[in-house]
Chain A
Amino acid sequence: MRTFIIRRVIYGLAVVWLVSFIVFGLSRAAGDPRDLYIDEYTTTESWEAMGREMGLDKPLIVQYTLWFGNALTGDFGRSMYHRTSARAVIGERIRPTLELTLGGLFFAVITGFPLGVLSAVRRGSVWDYIGRTFALYGQALPAFWLGVMLILIFSVQLKWLPTSQRGDWTHFILPGITLGWGASAAFVRLVRSSMLEVLDSEFVVLARAKGVATRWIVWKHAFRNALIAPMTFAGVLLAAYLTGTVVTETVFAWPGLGRLAVQSVFNNDFPIMTGVVMIFAGFFVIANFIVDLLYSWADPRIRLE
């Protein structure tokens, strides 16, 4: 178990390092970082001074080390566009993104798991049909389009829900559905297939033979064991979620990290962009690590790996 954890930590650090390397390499490939700060008052002296201040007179490897060291402490430089430190801008966007992510996850779990279980337990029924259809079509639906269509139906036509921005709980409904939709479809598919497998296994047959109530068998015996397969999928899901927050936040003008990342592309705002990418990479690695731990806890066979 200890070597397993150590290996995963090293691996996670390798991912962060690789991302930082790509980001730094690209940001230097884009040209002299001072170009962003140039204005009509820039003189040769101030240009040189700025270079010394930013460490541009040092070799690239030293510059990278300095940059990476600062990045680890959350210092990504100053955003010219926002006229403040990148850290401040990024800091206030983290919470909205986390809230949105939880909203999406909430939707995916409350729809995906029950539908998956129902679909497996009542095999061949209407529920099974609905579940399978949803699982099949759900993943082919582009989230950005779904979001706009939801706005069209529920905000523009029916006027039930707000079109965009953050606010009270009604603002979470449409973005939550948009973000959670794909995950929900995936959950239905995974939970259904692993429930079917578990329901066929010997211990369930034995429990049935003993006369245990069906509800008890489904939730206590089968469901718990059927959770393992969706958990392996959680890592993939997280990657999809990152893309999802970028897209969903753009559709709903949600003031989070994903939208900030897209805006910074159009503003040529490197400090923000690199900061957001590093933070996302960090979240991603930590979340993957937690998933791995949960997974080996749920299925002890994994630890042998």
Chain B
Amino acid sequence: MKQLQSSWKFVRVYPVVPLILIGLLVFAAVFAELITTNNGEGGDLFYRNFPPSWYENGSTYYILGADPLGRDVFARVIFGARISLMVATIVLSLGGLIGTLIGLIAGYKGGQIDELLMRFVDLTFAIPFILVALVVVIVLGQSMSVIVLLLIIFSWGAFARQIRGESLALKGRDYVSIARISGASTPYILWKHIFPGVVNTLFVIGSLRVGSLILTESVLSYLGVGVPPPTPAWGAMVSDGRDYIATAWWVTFFPGLAIFLTVMAFNFLGDWLRDYLDPRLRQLRE
């Protein structure tokens, strides 16, 4: 009984469930080929809207049924994890890098450079993103790199704004002033003295942004301007099943559930990381 209590406490204190979910997701994304033999891109029209295996006329081959083009829903959900995670990883690393650089420079340099960069960040927040994304996609065409680029533009600002604040605070510390007086160059100070102080913030913002990033990517692919077909993207899968909702609910249900669980797991983890690493950032999500 005592053991049970302590393990419950462990679950309450540490983000066990989100970590398990994220672990499964990463596993699915990396080993998709091993989990399912079918890559979810080729369909067999004979099996269109085929029901999941627990239905009387279902088959164990299509565990979660098949979509309107006869493609395996389970395989597509698994391969969809790869797309979502890949997009999130690339966007966060590049967006985080750009945002951090700009934030560090703006905070450290201050003055007009700071003012200019921060007003620019404000502007990027004020632009109706999804609509601009629609226009960009008509012009440049639908492709993975366009989506990644758009999402980077959409995400770097949050990093820049927060890191600028941190960098501004660190700039006034004695050790930074001493480094400056002893003749250290600006890049050296930024890298050796300021950057280590903002790493925690960087991780916290990164983990808090994953959820909204995956959600935004899925909205774009739901609207038909995301990662181009036949690559399985969760948002596009939900839209594939929209017209068949009365007869084949599984086509929309499972990919949507995957988005929901993923976003929730990352949000939980982000909240936990923030409280653990940097409680001062509490207002970030509110």
Q: Mostly helix, strand, loop or mixed at chain B's interface?
A: helix
**Contacts A144-B219, A148-B256: A22 and B132 contacting too (C-beta < 8 A)?**
yes
Query: Which residues of chain B are within 8 angstroms of A149 by Cβ–Cβ distance?
Result: 252-253, 256
**Contacts A140-B264, A246-B130: A26 and B135 contacting too (C-beta < 8 A)?**
yes
Query: Which residues of chain A are within 8 angstroms of B126 by Cβ–Cβ distance?
Result: 15, 284-285, 288
Query: Which residues of chain B are within 8 angstroms of A243 by Cβ–Cβ distance?
Result: 128-130, 219
B267 on the interface (CB 8 Å rule)?
yes
Within 8 A of B (CB), among A225-268: 229, 233, 239, 242-243, 246-247, 250-251, 261-262, 265-266, 268
| Residue pair B238, A277 in contact (C-beta under 8 Å) | no
| Residue pair B135, A273 in contact (C-beta under 8 Å) | yes
Query: Which residues of chain A are within 8 angstroms of B131 by Cβ–Cβ distance?
Result: 242, 246, 261, 276-277, 280-281
Closest to A281 in B: B128
A14 on the interface (CB 8 Å rule)?
yes
| Residue pair A247, B138 in contact (C-beta under 8 Å) | no
B206 on the interface (CB 8 Å rule)?
no
A137 on the interface (CB 8 Å rule)?
yes
B222 on the interface (CB 8 Å rule)?
yes
B139 on the interface (CB 8 Å rule)?
yes
Query: Which residues of chain A are within 8 angstroms of B137 by Cβ–Cβ distance?
Result: 265
Query: Which residues of chain A are within 8 angstroms of B132 by Cβ–Cβ distance?
Result: 19, 22-23, 277
| Residue pair B235, A144 in contact (C-beta under 8 Å) | yes
| Residue pair A141, B128 in contact (C-beta under 8 Å) | no
Q: Mostly helix, strand, loop or mixed at chain A's interface?
A: helix
Query: Which residues of chain B are within 8 angstroms of A136 by Cβ–Cβ distance?
Result: 264, 267-268
A142 on the interface (CB 8 Å rule)?
yes
A27 on the interface (CB 8 Å rule)?
yes
Interface size class of B (residues with CB under 8 A): 35 or more
* Complex Cα gap A251–B222 (Å): 10
Query: Which residues of chain A are within 8 angstroms of B263 by Cβ–Cβ distance?
Result: 140, 142
**Contacts A137-B264, A243-B129: A266 and B224 contacting too (C-beta < 8 A)?**
yes
A136 → chain B, closest Cβ, in Å?
A: 8
Summed over the interface, the residue pairs from A and B with CB atoms below 8 Å come to a total of 134
**Contacts A29-B139, A140-B211, A148-B245: A280 and B128 contacting too (C-beta < 8 A)?**
yes
A145 on the interface (CB 8 Å rule)?
yes
B98 → chain A, closest Cβ, in Å?
A: 18
A190 on the interface (CB 8 Å rule)?
yes
| Residue pair A152, B219 in contact (C-beta under 8 Å) | no
Query: Which residues of chain B are within 8 angstroms of A115 by Cβ–Cβ distance?
Result: none
A77 → chain B, closest Cβ, in Å?
A: 15
| Most A CB within 10 A of own CB, among B129, B211, B218, B260 | B260
A237 → chain B, closest Cβ, in Å?
A: 12
| Residue pair B134, A273 in contact (C-beta under 8 Å) | yes
| Residue pair A265, B134 in contact (C-beta under 8 Å) | yes
B94 on the interface (CB 8 Å rule)?
no
Closest to B266 in A: A140
| Residue pair B138, A144 in contact (C-beta under 8 Å) | no
Closest to B234 in A: A142
22 contacts between A and B (CB under 8 A): A14-B123, A18-B123, A23-B132, A136-B267, A140-B211, A140-B260, A140-B263, A142-B260, A142-B263, A144-B239, A145-B238, A145-B256, A148-B241, A148-B245, A156-B245, A243-B129, A246-B131, A247-B223, A262-B134, A274-B135, A280-B131, A281-B131
**Inter-chain pairs besides A140-B263, A284-B126, A288-B126, 19 sampled, C-beta below 8 Å:** A18-B127, A136-B264, A137-B264, A142-B235, A142-B263, A145-B238, A145-B252, A148-B241, A148-B256, A149-B252, A156-B245, A189-B286, A239-B128, A242-B131, A246-B130, A261-B131, A265-B134, A265-B135, A273-B135
